[in-house]
Amino acid sequence: QVQLQESGPGLVKPSGTLSLTCDVSGYSITSDNWWTWIRQPPGKGLEWIGEIYRSGSTHYHPSLRGRVAISMDKFKNQFSLTLNSVTAADTALYYCARPIFGDNSWYFDLWGRGTLVIVSS
């Protein structure tokens, strides 16, 4: 059974760096897949952050470019999110997910349970 599990500090100071990891079990992250981070501010909708492919190729949300980086550790079978210069607007529930292309659509078939990150001093 494939599972994704986010982990990382739940509290980050303003102007600090948010760092999260997604552990993938039951599936190799070096398979032919992208791996994604998505966030959801409290009481609001879903926002795609970015994605990484097994080659290391990445795509990021235009509004976060310059502050965000996604990387992967093939040996630990995990991928990570780093977000710099955080503000209260970055307070959100952060999810990792697996996007799949099929039937002419891109969809997220697997999600982690999410981890809440609060930006506060």
Partner 1 sequence: SYELTQDPAVSVALGQTVRITCQGVNLRNYYATWYQQKPGQAPILVMYGRNTRPSGIPDRFSGSDSGGTPSLTITGAQAEDEADYYCSTRDSSNNSPRAVFGGGTRLTVL
Of the two residues 2 and 14, which places its CB atom closer to partner 1 in the complex? 2
Q: What does the binding site for partner 1 look like in residue numbers (CB under 8 A)? A: 36, 38, 45-48, 50-51, 59-62, 95, 99, 102-109, 111-114
Of 118, 121, 120, which is closest to residue 8 (Cα–Cα)?
118
The token pair that represents 48 in the structure block: 């795609």
Measured from the Cβ of residue 105, the count of other Cβ atoms closer than 10 Å reads: 7
- Closest to partner 1 by CB, 13 vs 65, is 65
**Least distance in angstroms from the C-beta of 23 to partner 1:** 15
CB of 73 to partner 1, least distance (A): 23
Q: Which is nearer to partner 1, 10 or 75 (CB)?
A: 10
Min dist CB 16 to partner 1, Å, is: 25
